[in-house]
Amino acid sequence: MYDKDRILAHLNQVPYWFQYFEVAPGIFTPGSNNVVDICDKLQIPKDLTGMSVLDVGAYDGGFSFECERRGALRVVAYDLPEPSQTGFNVAKEILGSKVEYVRGSVYKLDQNQIGTFDIVLFAGVLYHLRYPLLACDRLRLVTKNLCYIETQVIDNWFVTSNGTVSLSQIAPECVSLPICQFYEHGELGNDTSNWFSPNIAAVLAWFRSAGFDINHLTSWGGRAAFRAEVVAGLPGYQQSISYEGLVSGNSKLSVL
């Protein structure tokens, strides 16, 4: 039987929780990002029995622990911070979890070091990257089957000096074109860790170019969810005699 006061005391040791998820019956972390709600939007299967899962940008580990709860056999939480700097260690202890934590950059994902996974989660990371296409390529290297992506998009959240508007209001002809907005000074949420917000068409194009068959699932506010399935090989133009084709070495990415 868990001790509610002890659990709450552990949760209060963490200065800031980003994710909201259940760590014991009726006890939730005090974050703002609802893990189960986002899992539902991503249409992640309720039963992951026997599967392997990589959670890129895990932070507090909410998605990792949720996949473990759904029966995943191996779950790796992958992110840059020390797990002691987020809520991960505290949540893992409370849950008695076996989720592994690996520190690393999405740019450094390597199947020879970390393996490949049935499912890769990529929630809330894409718009924080200066090199989003490199990240798409790296995700492809470690994904056996499916990659679920959740990200900020500009379709209904294009930042202007007067606030946010829908892309269709200022450039209706661009809605179906793959474009993105660049944030030089933290214009998105006054957060200097944000760099690019793509529109939905750009997310689809970026992941197709990396060797995925991708579908837009749903949108809400300035966010969108996608499901991408690995296809055999890379697109033909990635394997042609071009700079990217030569560097990638027929999908064996060697840069960085």
Q: What is the CA radius of gyration of the chain?
A: 19
pLDDT of residue 3: 86
pTM exceeds cut of 0.85: yes
Q: Residue 219 sits in which domain range?
A: 34-248
Domain membership of residue 211 (yes or no) is yes
Domain membership of residue 22 (yes or no) is no
Q: How many CB atoms lie within 10 A of CB 142?
A: 22
Domain membership of residue 21 (yes or no) is no
Beta carbons within 8 Å of 117's beta carbon, 6+ residues apart: 52, 53, 54, 74, 76, 142, 143, 144
* Pairing of the two strands 74-79 and 100-103: parallel
Domain membership of residue 23 (yes or no) is no
Report how far Cα 87 is from the mean position of its chain's Cα atoms.
18
Beta carbons within 8 Å of 62's beta carbon, 6+ residues apart: 19, 20, 21, 29, 31, 33, 35, 91
DSSP 8-state assignment for residue 71: T
Length of the chain: 256
134-190 pLDDT per residue, tens: 999 999 999 999 999 999 999 999 999 889 999 999 999 989 999 999 999 989 999
Q: Give the number of domains in the chain.
A: 1
Per-residue confidence at 255, pLDDT binned at 50, 70, 90? very low
Q: How many percent of the chain have pLDDT more than 90?
A: 86
Q: What is the CATH number of the domain that holds 86?
A: 3.40.50.150
Domain membership of residue 26 (yes or no) is no
Residue 14: closest CA among 35, 4, 29: 29
